[in-house]
Chains A and B, each alone.
Chain A
Amino acid sequence: MAKEVYSELMKEVEEGKFVWTGELEPEKAGSVESVVQAAKDLKGHVIACNVTDSPQSFATLSSLVAAYKIQEEAGMEAVYQLRCSDRNRIALQADVLGAGVMGIKNILALTGDHVALGDTPDAKPVYDLDSTTLSYMIRKIVDEGKDLAGNEIAEPPKMHIGAAGAPGAAVLQAEAYKVKRKVKAGAEFIQTQVIYLPEVLDNFFKELGDLGVPVFVGIFPAKSYGAAKFFDEAVAGVDVPPDYLKNLKKTKEIKDKAKRKEEVDRVNVEYFTGFLEHLKDTPATGCHMMAVGYPRIIPALKKVVE
């Protein structure tokens, strides 16, 4: 039986295309206008956009609502991110079923950062499920029309399940086993945490072996020195190369705004050309561009792979 394809993203995968996905972050705000605008800016550059769910446990507007809005108002397919940190299996199921009704075709099943790391550290963390069991739950809903307890679900939604991978994980072997476990549990694609170093990429694929599902490698061309520094310091398992950081830092000295932008772009294109040339020789079948608010960099990077 041919694999059923529900989303544009998976259609591109099936067609053997190199896939580009983007990322959008709903804010701590009562509006999604900026997210919809950012989705419009990314239109044509990426096939779908992840919509983050309270990243790093900073409580933001609902990822489901923002995912729906970018599909409706920007015509951008969403990869709806869903965390286990804040919902038990009943709430997760409710959101998955709701997402189906809202036309969501891709879900990224995440465990989620510990709530203690975010801006609401007194919240009670949930973690009733984890990324593996959430993937399994969605798989069961989609394929069997049943929930985890075995209860029947009428008119189950049709959607694809993605999961995350952390190539820079401190204990890579344990992480690789987990990624394989998530695929066994039902994940159909893997999007990785940001990688800057080609050797991190190589080690990850070496550990994974033949995974059997597409892997989209996370890259983060930083719009500013500050953004790159944040990744280096605050995000677990992400090392930003010192030379790249240094070159970005130098751009701060340029007074003229337009020239500074140009130089930042040049630094990024230079660095990522090397990285993407390397990536072409790995089993990666796509890139997940976490260049939030930096769509102008994408065409130059896509050229490298094409």
Chain B
Amino acid sequence: MIAQEQKPMDEILGYLEGKQRIVTMGCGGCATFYQTGDKKAVKEMAEKLTKEGKDVTKIFLPLGISACEIDMSSVFLEKNRKAIEGCDAVLVQSCGEGVQVVREYLDDKMGLAKSVYPANNSMGNVGGGPTDFKETCQGCGECELGKIAGICPLTACGKGLMNGPCGGVREDGKCETDPEKDCAWVKIYERLEKLGELDELLKMREPHAWSKMKRPRTFKIEKPISLGRTMFGSIPEYVSFGLRKPFTPKHEEKAEGE
């Protein structure tokens, strides 16, 4: 998911200076997960802006409806066409993808030239949870995990080395750039040792093919995903998982009890 945190309010208010009517829109995807664009976050943002004397229209996107997925989020934009037409600025409480997908839709599909501002700073792919996350994949388009013990050094190594560790490993196996961060190559070494595959370390990993990282990247799928394929088709799994689990860190309680 795309990690994100809300920008300092001063910065947001700076963008909105001199603009009276504001539409603020949330996101039911990552921004809901990180509580930067869920219903509560949108409400709180609206309250703060109202306190500053602004006239605010809120657009909530429910869980599963991401701002960046325009087929779904545009439904909410169209429903609020009047408010958007009459506003001075649109604030989008999502990652930068969401902000730009909304901006493009306003420009190209709704024919509305509006100032669009980000409410959040997004920091890219992270995984983990429930409260601590880390970046382990940069979405390079040419996955190397199969060659390197399931740890991506392009992301986890400070230098992104395909052949490490470098000479900068600290005594405790941390990175020269940050005493808090593990050396990815020490982790790879330890894991290969456990797997009994240390000979893998004698092999040279070829330089990574960066051609799939040519920016800006575009991506095409044959047909859009349907609700039938996603949610309805998976009802048995939702039931066996327990629908409320994702919202309460149950596994944490369980881990403590073990």
Contacts and interface: CB of A to CB of B under 8 A. Distances in A.
| Binding between chains A and B | yes
A184 B201 CA distance: 11
Given A170-B171, A177-B189, A111 B161 contact: yes
A190 to B, nearest CB: 12
Interface residues of B, number: 32
B17 to A, nearest CB: 29
Nearest to A114: B177
Interface string B224-239: 0000000000000000
A180 interface: yes
B211 to A, nearest CB: 11
Interface stretch (B31-39, B41-49, B108-116, B162-170): B162-170
A171 B186 contact: yes
Interface string A173-185: 1110110111011
B207 A180 contact: no
B176 interface: yes
Contacts of A236: 167-170, 176
Interface in A104-131: 111, 113-114, 116-117, 125, 127-131
Interface string B147-175: 00000000000111111111111111100
Nearest to B158: A114
A289 B160 CA distance: 31
A170 B204 contact: no
Given A113-B176, A114-B177, A177-B198, A171 B189 contact: yes
Interface string B179-191: 0000101100100
A171 B173 contact: yes
B202 A184 contact: yes
Given A131-B163, A133-B207, A181 B170 contact: no
A68 interface: no
Contact of A181 (B189, B201, B210): B201
Contact of A127 (B160, B168, B171, B205): B160
B82 interface: no
Given A133-B204, A133-B206, A174-B201, A117 B176 contact: yes
Contacts of B158: 114, 116
A237 interface: yes
A185 B177 CA distance: 27
Contacts of A74: none
Nearest to B200: A177
A129 B204 CA distance: 12
A26 to B, nearest CB: 21
A73 to B, nearest CB: 31
B204 A181 contact: yes
Contacts of A166: 167
A129 B208 CA distance: 8
Contact of B167 (A137, A148, A164): A164
Given A130-B159, A181-B201, A174 B185 contact: yes
A127 B208 CA distance: 10
Interface in A161-217: 164, 166, 169-171, 173-175, 177-178, 180-182, 184-185, 193
Contacts of B189: 171, 173-174, 177
Nearest to B166: A111
Interface hub of B160, B162, B165 (most chain A Cβ within 10 A): B165
Contact of B207 (A148, A164, A170, A193): A148
A133 B207 CA distance: 6
A132 interface: yes
Interface hub of A148, A177, A193 (most chain B Cβ within 10 A): A177
Contacts of B185: 174
Contacts of B164: 130, 174, 178
A53 B169 CA distance: 20
A210 B159 CA distance: 29
B235 to A, nearest CB: 47
Q: 6 nearest interchain CB pairs?
A: A132-B163, A177-B201, A174-B189, A166-B167, A130-B161, A127-B159
14 contacts: A114-B166, A128-B210, A130-B162, A133-B163, A133-B204, A133-B207, A169-B167, A170-B171, A170-B186, A174-B185, A174-B186, A174-B201, A180-B202, A182-B163
